[in-house]
Amino acid sequence: MRVALVTGGARGIGAATVRKLAEDGWAVLACDIAADIPELGYPMASEAELHELVASSDGTVKAHVADVRDADAMHAAVAEAEREWGRIDAAVACAGAIAGGVPLWEMPTGAERAVLEVNLVGSMNLARAAIPVLLRQPEPRSGRFLAVASTAATHGLPMLASYCAAKAGVVGLVRALAAELGCTGVTANAVSPGSTSTPILEESARLYGLPDTEEFAQHQSVNRLLEPAEIANVLAFMAGQDSSAMNGSVVSVDGGFSL
C-alpha cells in the first residue's frame, strides 16, 4: 500500500485528492488547520469537515490537525504518517488561502502575510519535512512531492497581488526542488488549476464584488467552472509511479484559461 500526506485535506481540491487517492488504494493522512485564520476574511475548513471526510473513507484515511505555516507541525505530520504506515510515498501540498480585493499598497500586512505563508511557506515546510523521508526509501525510489499552484502564477490578477506572488513562488519552488532532486527517483511537480468550484473561488467572487462564481467561467475555453475532482484526478496520476518522466513540470489543469 502506498502512503500519501495531503495538506488542506478537509475540503476543496485537497479533500478531492484525499478521496481519489483512497479510491485508488492509497493510505492517506489528511492534514488541515481545521480552524479559522483571523487575518483572512472568510472561514477555513472545520474539524468537523475533516472528520467527516475520514468517516466517509474505508478506513485508509486518517485525520491530522496541523497548520502548514508551522514547520514543526509539518515535521510532526510526516512523523505521524510514518508511525501509522511505516513510510511516505507522496506529499501533496494542497493547502491554500486567498485575500485581496484592494491594490497591493492598500493590502493589510497581516492578510498578505497569511496568504504568503499558507500558500508558499506552507508548501516549503511540507517539502522540508517530507522530502528527506521520501529519500530514505530504498532504490529504485519513486517518491513524489506535489504542489498546487494556480493560473494566478503566470497571469497578473488585479487586487490579488499577494496570491499571484505566492503561487508564482510555488512554481519556482517546485522547479528548484526538481533540479535539486535530480536522478534520486524522487520528483517534484505542480498542477496549475483554473477557476475551480472551491471556497477560495467563492471568496474571490466576494473580493471582486461579484454575485457568484459563474462570472469566472467565461475566462476558460470550456466555458464552465472546474470541479475539484478534475484537479484531483491529475494529482493522483502524478503521485503514482507512471509519472516517473515528470520532474519540474507545472501541468495546466485550467479548462483552457491559459490558451
- Specify the CATH number for the domain of residue 160: 3.40.50.720
| Residue 258 resides in a domain | no
pLDDT score, position 223: 97
Tens of pLDDT, residue by residue over 94-130, are 999 999 999 999 999 999 999 999 999 999 999 999 9
pLDDT score, position 154: 96
pLDDT score, position 210: 97
- Burial level of 228, CB count in 10 A (0-12/13-18/19+)? buried
| Residue 74 resides in a domain | yes
| Residue 156 resides in a domain | yes
Instruction: Give, rounded to a whole angstrom, the gap between the first and last alpha carbons of the chain.
Output: 38
Tens of pLDDT, residue by residue over 136-167, are 999 999 999 999 999 999 999 999 999 999 99
pLDDT score, position 130: 98
C-alpha cell at 119: 500558500
- Burial call 158-188: b when 16+ CB within 10 Å, e when fewer: ebbbbbbbbbbbbbebbbebbeebeebbbbb
| Residue 86 resides in a domain | yes
- Residue 136 CA, distance from chain mean position: 23
Q: What is the DSSP letter of 91?
A: E
**Residue 65, helix vs strand vs coil:** strand
**Active site residue ranges:** 163
Alpha helices in 108-160 (DSSP H): 109-116, 122-135
pLDDT score, position 151: 97
- Identity of residue 244: S
> What residue has cell string 499552484?
149
pLDDT score, position 179: 98
| Residue 259 resides in a domain | no
| Residue 189 resides in a domain | yes
Please name the residues in contact with 144: beta carbons below 8 A apart, sequence gap of 6 or more: 89, 90, 91, 92, 134, 186, 187, 188, 189, 238, 239, 240, 243
Flag residues of the chain having pLDDT under 70.
none
pLDDT score, position 217: 97
The pTM assigned to this predicted structure is 0.97
Per the structure, the count of domains in the chain is 1
Distance CA 149, CA 172 (A): 10
Please name the residues in contact with 251: beta carbons below 8 A apart, sequence gap of 6 or more: 189, 190, 191, 192, 234, 238
- For residue 237, give its domain range: 3-253
C-alpha cell at 198: 472551491
| Residue 197 resides in a domain | yes
